[in-house]
Amino acid sequence: MQWLEWTPGTQAADFERISRVMLGYALEDLAELPEQPPVVVEGPQVVPDLLPDGARAVVLLPSPGFQRVVLEPRPMPSSDPRRALAARLVKDRLWAERVAGLARARGVPVLEVDGTRGPDELREEVEHLFPAFFARAGDAELGPVRRWENECHARNLRAWVASGDLRGSGGTSFAFACECGRRGCGETVSLTLAELDVAERVLAPQHAAR
């Protein structure tokens, strides 16, 4: 129904409706996050006119050609994938232009993306827009943030265990993030919830002495 029966305009309007609701949840979560390191929120659901005063934001506006190159390889869950893709391209274009218009009305910078610049070049452009923000990010301590991440993960796991799902009963181990604080560390450590509760820090074996 979404891709074949709704018009692209209806699809875009429904996406905006849902995005406005979902962004509200994201903003609530942001208020609970640690102050360091700075957090980057990204996604097509970021509606510029809902951002709080003082928010730093930038909109990446894809060109129609780049949009097609990105979307064509993706499978479309539809009985008529070709027609569904055609509808999605129009819907996504309408939404992109809508977001760009809202951004410009609020003075939020808009960077056009056509595929000729790589991720590093785009990152540098964004960093140049907010130099003070990214300068602070370089001094962030990541260890406490990983601990916060693990505590949130554990809270969700406890709710799952409490639901009675037998896969989470007893001494089941789960993957938790290494809290060494090293930039780029993606190591995880398998611990039961009881082990996490008594651990001062979660450290991968190769980072324990650092």
**What would the pLDDT profile of 64-102 be if each residue is shown by its tens digit?**
999 999 999 988 888 899 999 999 999 999 999 999 999
**Closest among 11, 69, 15, 71 to 46, alpha carbons compared:** 15
| Per-residue pLDDT at 90 | 96
Query: What one-character DSSP code corresponds to residue 70?
Result: H
H helices of 37-80, where?
64-71
pLDDT at 36: 66
Per-residue pLDDT tens over the stretch 15-26: 999 999 999 999
Q: Residue 202 and residue 208: Cα distance in Å, rounded?
A: 9
Q: Is the pLDDT of residue 145 over 90?
A: no
The pLDDT of residue 98 is 97
Q: Tell me what percent of the residues of the chain surpass a pLDDT of 70.
A: 92
Q: What is the share, in percent, of the chain residues with pLDDT greater than 90?
A: 56
Pairing of strands 110-113, 59-62: parallel
Q: For the chain, which residues make up each domain, given as ranges?
A: 8-137, 143-207
| 112-138 per-position pLDDT tens digit | 999 999 999 999 999 999 888 887 766
Q: Give the CB-side neighbour count of residue 32, counting CA atoms within 13 A.
A: 9
Cβ partners under 8 Å of residue 31, min gap 6: none
Q: How far is CA 60 from the centre of its chain?
A: 15
For 120-184, give the secondary structure using H, E and C.
Answer: HHHHHHHHHHCHHHHHHHCCCCCHHHHHHHHHHHHHHHHHHHHCCCHHHCCCCCEEEECCCCCCC
pLDDT at 16: 96
Confidence at residue 166, expressed as pLDDT on a 0 to 100 scale: 64
pTM: 0.69
Out of 2-6, 34-38, 190-194, least confident range: 34-38
| pLDDT above 70: residue 170 | no
Residue 66 one-letter amino acid: F
Phi, psi (degrees; rounded to nearest 5) at 142: -90, -20
* pLDDT band, very low/low/confident/very high, at 163 (cuts 50, 70, 90): confident
Residues comprising the chain, all counted = 210
